[in-house]
Homo-oligomer: A and B are copies of this chain.
Amino acid sequence: MSTGARGQHARVLDVLGLAITAGEHPPGSVLRTDELAERLGVSRSVMREAVRVLESMCLVESRRRVGVTVRPVEEWNVYDPQVIRWRLAGADRPHQLRSLTVLRSAVEPVAAGLAARNATPEQCAELTECALGMVATSRGGQLEGYLVHDIAFHRVVLNASGNEMFAHLGDLVAEVLAGRTHHRVMFEDPDPAAVTLHVQVAEAVRAGDAVRAEELTREITVGALRELDILAP
């Protein structure tokens, strides 16, 4: 899925990035560009471009006479969408989902508060539509349909906040929600209380009630934290 066949460069980048984030080539290990190029069957040009991109993500450091060194995890650009995708595809997916969910719990309530102040009428309408869609798909095992509306809902809130840093977390939230749905026991309908909360958030935003929108969204994210046992019940 993540490997589109669009050119050698992307393919090689994906393979290497995945390998590094997956923990083979642990931090400190050194790779040689030429050897990698040969191993993956590409020219040095292509491999060099891939290494440069990995370097810009702080996954590796390239130094003369020594080679390409894998950097410690703490230095990786963990906000890079590609890095996030690689890590979600690997072994520390659970850990990654927890980190992202905690981030959500900090950001989304504030974003909802801002949305209540800044949302355009169009965005309010869109939000209500999403909430209604969630209600309509909340029963009878229509999990995929529910997911679509859920993702759209949170994306609209983040965009409506008017803050570009928040808006950019849309993909991230989508990733978390999708991950949650696809790793939960299927056939289990979403929590009715959560559905209600979404409807109420949409209403609060439309009414311009920032405090209420923030508080309701906080309840939603608290629920998400509880699902992962990050919070004590």
Contact = CB atoms under 8 A, between A and B. Distances in A.
A143 interface: no
A102 B106 CA distance: 12
Contact of A79 (B56, B99, B165): B165
B74 A56 contact: no
Identical copies in the complex = 2
B164 A99 contact: yes
Interface residues of A, number: 33
A103 interface: yes
Nearest to A13: B56
A11 interface: no
Contacts of A57: 56
Interface in A98-133: 99-100, 102-103, 105-107, 109-111, 114
Contacts of A77: 79-81, 168
Interface string A32-62: 0000000000000100110011001100000
Interface of A: 9, 45, 48-49, 52-53, 56-57, 73-74, 77-82, 99-100, 102-103, 105-107, 109-111, 114, 163-168
6 contacts: A45-B45, A45-B48, A52-B53, A78-B164, A79-B168, A105-B110
Given A74-B164, A77-B80, A102-B165, 6 more contacts: A9-B52, A45-B48, A56-B56, A80-B80, A103-B107, A106-B111
